[in-house]
Amino acid sequence: MNLDSQISSLTEQVQDSSNFLEYWENFYTSHRTEFLKWSYKHYHLPPDEAVDIYQDAIVILFENAANGKVSHLQCTVKTYFFGIAKNLISTYLKKKIRDKERYEKLPENPHLLESLAISERNNDWMEASLEVVSDAMKRLSSKGQAILHLFYHEKKSLKEITHTLGYKSEDVVKTTKMRYMKMLRELVEADIRYYS
């Protein structure tokens, strides 16, 4: 589809109620995965924030099409859409920096600031890497998955894991858990390097 037909199709779909939902659902689903990967690769955006920005960009694109602002585009609709999203990401990141500056203005309590910084880093990493970690977990053996699941998800002690999985001692469980955690970390780091 050439540039002119993309733009006319977009403006027609805003006005044509018969294909309206189908067009926008198709647009939404056809670019969502690519956008999520792009926003993580270039901006390390957590998936939930990326989805929110994606949806906001869809709304802005629709409003601009409805108001006739897309009739003279010099680029594809997808490029225009990603430009809208890029502006929203920029606004989000600036707000995040302002929020960080507010944290820095908190009273001098090194323990509080340190725990806030660690918590923020951990939350960002967990949110952004959840899918990568889940995929990496599936590549571990069932024994490795079981130990890590019991320890980190179910919060079982080494003693409870030893009993549940029938190991000889807590030391064996501890060593095995550390070995599988190292393997998981290496898989995750390799996947992140691959997507970067």
Q: Tens digits of per-residue pLDDT, 72-116? A: 777 888 888 888 999 998 888 888 777 666 555 544 444 544 554
Structure tokens at 114: 């340190």
Where residue 68 falls (left for φ over 0; alpha for ψ -120 to 50; beta otherwise) is left
**CATH number of this structure's domain 1-105, picked from the four choices 2.30.30, 1.10.1740, 1.10.10, 1.10.3110:** 1.10.1740
Q: Which residues, 6+ apart, have CB-to-CB distance to 78 below 8 Å? A: 31
What's the CA gap between 155 and 182, in Å, rounded? 19
Cα dihedral 24, 26, 28, 32 in deg (nearest 10): -170
> Mean pLDDT of all residues in the chain?
76
Fold of 110-196: Arc Repressor Mutant, subunit A (1.10.10)
pTM of the model: 0.48
